[in-house]
Structure 1
Amino acid sequence: MSLEIPTSVKVWSQFIHPTLMWILFALSLYALYLGVLVRRTRSAEGEAKKELIKGKFNIKHYQVGSLLLAGMIIITLIGMGVTYINNGKLFVGPHLLAGLGMTGLIATSAALSPLMQKGQNWARYSHIFLNVVLLVLFGWQAFTGVEILQRIISKM
């Protein structure tokens, strides 16, 4: 039994991955902002610290990070699945390899959370480093993804 996907679905499905990834990129920048506020809260003193604590930035950062982790993995798989459905293969190149690397980076970064909650500073610094690398790769991915989209659109 062969399940044939309608052509219109195949064509428009190619825009799901890039659209959702741009949303995740914006969400990543928001997570960065929250992370800076968590760091500021941690180093503040007195009344300033009391005011920052009210913002519950640590909880928000953790929640947004969890959403990013799930989203990154699911949307990466969607992108790979749509590419395979439409082309019968994956194109192994810098965009795919960097995307898979980013998925590993975000998983590793999230795995450091229990250690950070226990006060391990090396885990905090590793988390920050991994996420800076992740954001740089994400920015690069966004632009290489636009190039791929332009190629897809030109073939329509």
Structure 2
Amino acid sequence: MNLTIPESVKVWSQFLHPTIMWVILALSIYALYLGIQVQRTRYADGDIKKELIKGRYNVKHYQIGSVLLGLMVVGAIGGMAVTYINNGKLFVGPHLLAGLGMTALIAMSASLSPFMQKGQNWARFTHIALNVVLLGLFGWQAVTGVEIVQRIVSKM
């Protein structure tokens, strides 16, 4: 079976991965904000705690985290698929390897949720540490990704 993909689809599909990744970066910053609010709620007292609880930050943080996990996995696989379709190979380099590492980090971070829900502080601290590393890598990936997009655009 020989599946021929129209050239216009091949060209414009290259911009889907970067777009998804920028959305994920923005959502990650929002998830960080929600996580900070969850921590504030956990350590607050009295009326401040009651007010923070109304924000349902824990539920929002969990939901955004779930969306991030799904988008990250789909985005990583999609980026590799589009690269392979357009070039017949993957370019094994820092951007690909860091992206795969980030996908593993977000999966490990999400897998700690059941332990955090049971009040395990080690899981909470590990979750925070993994996500700080993930956000740092994400910032670096954004820079290297823009460089890759610029190379693609220059060849158009």
> Where on the TM-score scale, by shorter chain, does this alignment land: which range?
over 0.9
Quote the offset at 1:83 in angstroms: 0.2
Question: What is the match of residue 3 of structure 1?
Answer: 3
CA distance in 2, matches of 1:8, 1:21: 22
Question: What is the match of residue 95 of structure 1?
Answer: 95
Q: Tell me if 1:107 matches 2:107.
A: yes
Give the alignment of 1:3-42 within 5 angstroms. Answer: 3-42=3-42
Give the alignment of 1:43-62 within 5 angstroms. Answer: 43-62=43-62
CA distance in 1, matches of 2:121, 2:86: 46
The aligned amino acid for 2:116 is: M
4+ residue runs over 6 A deviation: none
Question: What is the match of residue 77 of structure 2?
Answer: 77
Quote the offset at 1:84 in angstroms: 0.2
TM-score (normalizing by structure 2) = 0.99
Quote the offset at 1:16 in angstroms: 0.2
CA distance in 1, matches of 2:113, 2:27: 19
Identity percentage over the alignment? Answer: 74
CA distance in 2, matches of 1:5, 1:49: 56
CA distance in 1, matches of 2:143, 2:28: 16
CA distance in 1, matches of 2:121, 2:3: 52
**Aligned partner of residue 107 in structure 1, secondary structure:** helix
**Aligned partner of residue 8 in structure 1, secondary structure:** helix
Quote the offset at 1:37 in angstroms: 0.2
Q: For each residue in 1:59-94, what CA deviation from the matched residue of structure 2 results, as whole angstroms up to 9, or x when unmatched? A: 000000000000000011000000000000000000
Q: For each residue in 1:19-40, what CA deviation from the matched residue of structure 2 results, as whole angstroms up to 9, or x when unmatched? A: 1100110000000000000000
CA distance in 1, matches of 2:134, 2:19: 18
Give the gaps of 5 or more residues in structure 1. Answer: none
Give the gaps of 5 or more residues in structure 2. Answer: none
Question: What is the match of residue 116 of structure 2?
Answer: 116
